[in-house]
């Protein structure tokens, strides 16, 4: 998907919602859409879990420690959580809850639940149902996986605070649209709308 080619259409659609929204989109230009599929799925999910409810800086610091530990122990992430004492992972800055989630991810990966090819064949909603059945994996994490790992084009992550608050800023002066109906105008490319919101907010998720 060429986001530069989509950019004029997005700006035109944004004018239907709010002229300031269109101006903001035009000012930041086409957003970047990083792809994370080169790494194992379990590792990617572990990275998302570590960053939940943390600032980008804090998440990066803790993940850096976990990564360094994995290299030192020559073990994959999240398998570290099963093979090392809890205190070792907690010393990296992980909470007890996130450590339990990493253990659940490692067990699911070993059981074949996180096979990339199988999950890629599922529709995003079906995939999200499977993932959120795992301990500690909620809708936001499933959305981040859909957006950045599988690059599904029409994900609208309303559970992301930066996405929600940024669009809300442009809706306060008019009553024609709420968050969902405004986003619906950008279907089937609502994933790209989320990328614009992060870029406008200058607060991209640390994925």
Shared domain check, 122 and 65: yes
Shared domain check, 63 and 28: no
Q: What total number of domains does the chain contain?
A: 2
Distance CA 150, CA 46 (A): 16
| Model pLDDT for residues 92-125, shown as the tens digit of each residue | 999 999 999 999 999 999 999 999 999 999 999 9
- How many angstroms separate the Cα of 148 from the Cα of each of 73, 101, 157, 193, 204? 28, 20, 12, 14, 12
pLDDT, position 202: 84
Task: Give the domain range for residue 180.
Answer: 3-33+155-201
| Model pLDDT for residues 20-67, shown as the tens digit of each residue | 999 999 999 999 998 878 889 999 999 989 988 888 888 889 999 999
The residues, ordered by sequence, that sit 6+ positions from 178 with a Cβ below 8 Å of its Cβ are: 171
| pTM over the 0.75 mark | yes
What value does the mean pLDDT take over residues 149-178? 92
Shared domain check, 159 and 144: no
Shared domain check, 87 and 21: no
Shared domain check, 48 and 113: yes
Shared domain check, 162 and 120: no
Shared domain check, 142 and 117: yes
Instruction: Provide the percentage of residues in the chain whose pLDDT is more than 90.
Output: 77
- 207 lies in some domain: no
Shared domain check, 140 and 76: yes
Shared domain check, 168 and 90: no
Confidence of residue 206 (pLDDT cuts 50, 70, 90): low
């Amino acid at each position: 998907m060429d986001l530069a080619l989509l950019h004029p259409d997005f700006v035109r659609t944004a004018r239907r919602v709010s002229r300031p929204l269109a101006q903001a989109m035009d000012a930041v230009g086409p957003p970047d859409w990083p792809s994370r599929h080169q790494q194992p799925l379990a590792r990617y999910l572990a990275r998302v879990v570590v960053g939940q409810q943390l600032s980008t800086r804090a998440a990066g610091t803790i993940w850096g420690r976990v990564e360094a530990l994995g290299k030192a122990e020559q073990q994959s992430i999240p398998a570290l959580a099963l093979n090392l004492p809890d205190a070792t992972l907690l010393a990296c800055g992980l909470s007890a809850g996130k450590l339990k989630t990493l253990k659940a991810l490692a067990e699911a990966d070993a059981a074949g639940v996180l096979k990339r090819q199988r999950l890629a064949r599922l529709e995003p909603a079906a995939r999200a149902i499977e993932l959120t059945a795992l301990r500690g994996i909620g809708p936001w994490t499933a959305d981040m996986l859909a957006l950045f790992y599988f690059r599904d084009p029409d994900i609208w992550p309303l559970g992301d605070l930066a996405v929600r608050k940024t669009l809300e800023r442009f809706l306060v002066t008019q009553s024609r649209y709420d968050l969902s109906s405004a986003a619906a105008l950008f279907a089937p490319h609502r994933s790209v709308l989320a990328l614009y919101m992060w870029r406008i907010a200058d607060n991209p998720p640390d994925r």
